[in-house]
Structure 1
């Protein structure tokens, strides 16, 4: 957003299931840039409330995430499309997570990172960061069994029919950067795993018992790690599970 303000952009639009919309709306407000946000009509009220608090115009779109993206692009007009999915500056921002993890682990790279995957931007940013550092962890992408296009593509499974899942922000039926996501998982010798919504709720409860109030999409990553290491984590493994969202957005 800072770069857009620098080059004179005064109006942006994007589609989102909530988190990116709130972030863009907040920084756009601070920069004096008008913001219009398209959201699926079944997204939680808490997410919409946060976006609205920053003065953004909100457009609710029926028929899922893919239709929301299409409508945002169709109705751009004079607005700049500020989607985090395509913008390389966003990926540059996310890659700083890799350096933060590396620094906090005392200059070492973890063995595994479990990443909730919707559009895959967190995974792609982490991949780029660790590639620059010089060593990749094994990335494991986590999705809900009710919406698991990446898991299906990674393993060559028949496409799972889309159903509603409590993990709202990874409820993406057609990830636009699917090939890049699959490349990141495979080249890191990683994996992709789908978990039931019940396992996500159980993971969220476990996080709460440790003083972490996480949104359900974030809890999905822990559910994936638990399923992947069902027989226990080897003592010498360093495993990272990012918690990218607050439970206040449930």
Structure 2
């Protein structure tokens, strides 16, 4: 979940939420005039999270604040850096191989996603659906269907590099059903999780991306029944690949 790095009350609240990762934001959610203050607040902001898994999203490589952001995160020992609008592995060179979640938000980024995902230090890709839709000049209300090729390309690139694939944000804060549908679609596309912008979205996303009881029961049954090679399981044939998928699902649940 993204939290403005300049809002201590929101950060303190985020420490008690069930999001898997809190991303302290120096980019879109922080006004230009507040960015210096947000950088200066990082040590205190991280302390407010009380040891929670945290990352910092810096400003894009082609912005004036990029170098200042790198200096700020270097001084506080951030474990994971979220870099927006990555379009080439060269954009990540200044990070010297430190752990990065690279945001793919432009056509150039989509076309270079495989090379970006394979860059040393990159642990996964996150899609910036709002910026991607804007850069593709999609009309308002076009939905996600026109993005389907790009979304699948990003998942493919992340998987080829054995990294995470994180879906983009859902803007409508009061549309719980719409969020649930988009999360289900994201999981079906292969994403591991979703970027969030409000605490009320967390439970919906956690439910959608977590294995259901029925999925877990079947996975346990497949693992228990497996004897190696192709074999009949209930009304279908399974092989080692299906057993490995079941084990991966159980590991995800744990």
TM over 0.5: no
TM range (shorter): under 0.3
* TM, length-normalised to structure 2: 0.26
Which fold has the larger relative contact order, with Cα–Cα distance below 8 Å and residues 6 or more apart in sequence? 1
* TM, length-normalised to structure 1: 0.26
Q: Kindly name which structure, 1 or 2, has the bigger radius of gyration based on alpha carbons.
A: 2
